[in-house]
Amino acid sequence: MQRKLTAVVVLAFWLAISSLATAADPLPSWTEGRAKQSVVDFVQRVTAPGGKDFVPEPERIAVFDNDGTLWAEQPFYFQLVFALDRVKTLAAKHPEWKEKEPFKSALAGDLKGVLAGGEHGLLELVMATHAGMTTEEFEQVVKDWLVTAKHPRFNRPYTECVYQPMLELLEYLRANGFKTWIVSGGGIEFMRPWTERVYGIPPEQVVGSSIKTKFELRDGKPVLMRLPEVNFIDDKAGKPVGINQHIGRRPIAAFGNSDGDFQMLEWTTAGSGPRFGMIVHHDDAEREWAYDRKSSIGKLDRGLDEAAKRGWLVVSMKRDWKFIFPFEGN
Amino acid sequence: MQRKLTAVVVLAFWLAISSLATAADPLPSWTEGRAKQSVVDFVQRVTAPGGKDFVPEPERIAVFDNDGTLWAEQPFYFQLVFALDRVKTLAAKHPEWKEKEPFKSALAGDLKGVLAGGEHGLLELVMATHAGMTTEEFEQVVKDWLVTAKHPRFNRPYTECVYQPMLELLEYLRANGFKTWIVSGGGIEFMRPWTERVYGIPPEQVVGSSIKTKFELRDGKPVLMRLPEVNFIDDKAGKPVGINQHIGRRPIAAFGNSDGDFQMLEWTTAGSGPRFGMIVHHDDAEREWAYDRKSSIGKLDRGLDEAAKRGWLVVSMKRDWKFIFPFEGN
């Protein structure tokens, strides 16, 4: 009995020490101020046993947009760069692309020309580069690309162009019993090969846009073939639909950066009990980029207008974050 | 230091005791024999640290069919009973149903008449009873039904007509670091309201068939409306597609009971490394039902033919299970 008591006391002491160590500064890359305090307050409220805002662990669901919220999205969505690189790689097998838009512009590195084709052109580009192979083949293509491709401004792999304060936030939430999810307009299979390594988010907690797949036998081996047909677009009003489809319960916290995240924030914060909505505002032209209402990528207009009224926190990258990227200061 | 050591020793002792207690009989409702031994052997192989078949925890994904694998499916799929009950409840608002099939037969309790309408008739029945309301309203309808509806043979709530040996298996796998998933042809939103309570499987680990939903504002409040349009059929070749969509990695163990699970078993066991495929064979007419090759519900034909060749375990409910339902012996 004495031994058991000793064990319990020592264990309790260890736990107290380690939780104090975490509590000391769970978000070291965030400057002291209202933004950081709001995040910490929310987490403390929903985890305080017996508190009026306590939320049981299984319901601590937090959803994160990816492009512009967890990693950068300028000068172009990284997945678009991937598609253009794929066009170049595949061009030898497609001589007809030399004369056919949007491939002609893509091969010439003329992004303006690509975008001139509008949504239809982009869709054609995606289907030509993302379909026509098995899921396992596509996963390998994405992994190979990530090893060699470098961001044009930072000259680093795209998976290093992630936001250090958000990495800390993900970890902080998980340490407090949250399940963290990505809910992105990006391709679900473009994200899954690296989200576990980079964000600690396993493939089954990634929600994204997708094309259809078909089960078939190839040389007697079962495969899933990727078809050139849209299955689901996980953007804007599609985000709550994707959340319901994959998670099946309403998150209590949502993190975004553009009007593409508006409905996800709206859906999340309309639930009863404690709710948290946060928008990352890109206002740091020096360390990252400054863009919002007029941007064609990551446009944030309605979100800025309505955040205060809806009780959503707007985080200034310039003021609220000490560091933007993990490689800063290295 | 002495205290810390004491703590560690005592803790290790406790852990050893509790793991021995579990190891003593993790599956008490399974009879001793090849079936039980195969399950235990597999779990021990993939969890033995340093063993050649060791599988890291995040990859320990186990998928379970629901109808006929975790709960019964006779004399009719429980969700069909739900739909018929809903028709009766909603009939007052639909006077036209009195003259219109499949509703006319449904109202007359004539299941044969309902089934005469084939797949099209069933689809009409599902849409009329599962769509046209919000996701939250539907969840409540399912919960309310489960409280009152009783299985015609056992005179118990449908959620008690679950297989005790499978409940033990789910728990045993989770205690060994597995994530357990449902992958069912049944409606995803028909299962989610009760799978956590009954199976310990949270809503985000349920994959199933679905209709489309649409985000909209109702009196300024965001809702997801259920539309009368098929989104996804999670059956046969659809199961590997659903698994990929929701889980994003290949399971290492799959459990089914009918040819609707064939491709799920095929997909799961075709992966490299240790794999486990299991088919529950309904061969106990006394305690449950006996049906396989000729059954219109839960037909098992090809699975029986190919199980041995493919290395899948066929479990005999009659011989391998001491108890079928949790209420037996009560």
Q: Which residue of B has its CA nearest to A189?
A: B248
Q: How far apart are CA B271 and CA B276, in angstroms?
A: 10
Contact flag B204-A179 (C-beta cutoff 8 Å): yes
pLDDT of res. A111: 85
Residues on chain B touching A179 (C-beta within 8 angstroms):
204
Instruction: Identify which of B206, B222, B241 has the shortest CB distance to residue A248.
Output: B206
pLDDT of res. A18: 52
- List Cα–Cα distances, A139 to A85, A136, A182, A330, B16, in angstroms: 16, 5, 18, 31, 41
A23 burial via Cβ count (<10 Å: 0-12, 13-18, 19+): exposed
pLDDT of res. A1: 45
pLDDT of res. B16: 53
Contact flag A204-B247 (C-beta cutoff 8 Å): yes
Instruction: Identify which of B204, B247, B248 has the shortest CB distance to residue A248.
Output: B204
Question: Once rounded to an integer, what is the mean pLDDT over residues A30-48?
Answer: 98
Contact flag A196-B267 (C-beta cutoff 8 Å): no
What share of chain B has pLDDT > 90, as a percent?
87
pLDDT of res. A13: 56
Q: How far apart are CA A24 and CA A5, in angstroms?
A: 28
pLDDT of res. B189: 98
Structure confidence by residue, pLDDT tens digits, B143-171: 999 999 999 999 999 999 999 999 999 99
Contact flag B237-A215 (C-beta cutoff 8 Å): yes
Confidence of residue A112 (pLDDT cuts 50, 70, 90): confident
Confidence of residue B1 (pLDDT cuts 50, 70, 90): very low
For the whole model, what pTM was predicted?
Answer: 0.92
From the CA of A87, how many Å to the nearest CA of chain B? 25
Structure confidence by residue, pLDDT tens digits, A47-93: 999 999 999 999 999 999 999 999 999 999 999 999 999 999 999 99
Q: Which residues of A touch B (CB under 8 A)?
A: 3-4, 6-7, 10-11, 58, 61, 135, 179, 188-189, 192, 196, 202-206, 210, 213-216, 221-222, 224, 231, 237-238, 240-241, 244-249, 263, 266-267, 270
Average per-residue pLDDT for chain B: 93
Structure confidence by residue, pLDDT tens digits, B16-63: 555 554 557 999 999 999 999 999 999 999 999 999 999 999 999 999
Contact flag A222-B192 (C-beta cutoff 8 Å): no
Q: Which residue of B has its CA nearest to A220?
A: B270
DSSP H stretches of helix in chain A: 2-24, 34-47, 78-90, 103-107, 111-116, 118-130, 135-148, 164-175, 188-199, 238-246, 262-269, 302-310, 317-320
Confidence of residue B117 (pLDDT cuts 50, 70, 90): confident
Contact (Cβ atoms closer than 8 angstroms) between residue B203 and residue B259: no
* pLDDT above 80 (res A269): yes
* pLDDT above 90 (res A12): no
Structure confidence by residue, pLDDT tens digits, B64-81: 999 999 999 999 999 999
ipTM (interface predicted TM):
0.91
Nearest Cα neighbor of B205 from B69, B47, B61, B42 is B61
* pLDDT above 70 (res A134): yes
Instruction: Identify which of A203, A231, A249 has the shortest CB distance to residue B248.
Output: A203
Contact (Cβ atoms closer than 8 angstroms) between residue A188 and residue A210: yes
Confidence of residue B2 (pLDDT cuts 50, 70, 90): low
Residue of higher predicted confidence among A26 and B6: A26
* Cβ neighbours for B60, distance < 8 A, ≥ 6 positions apart: B46, B47, B173, B176, B177, B178, B179, B252
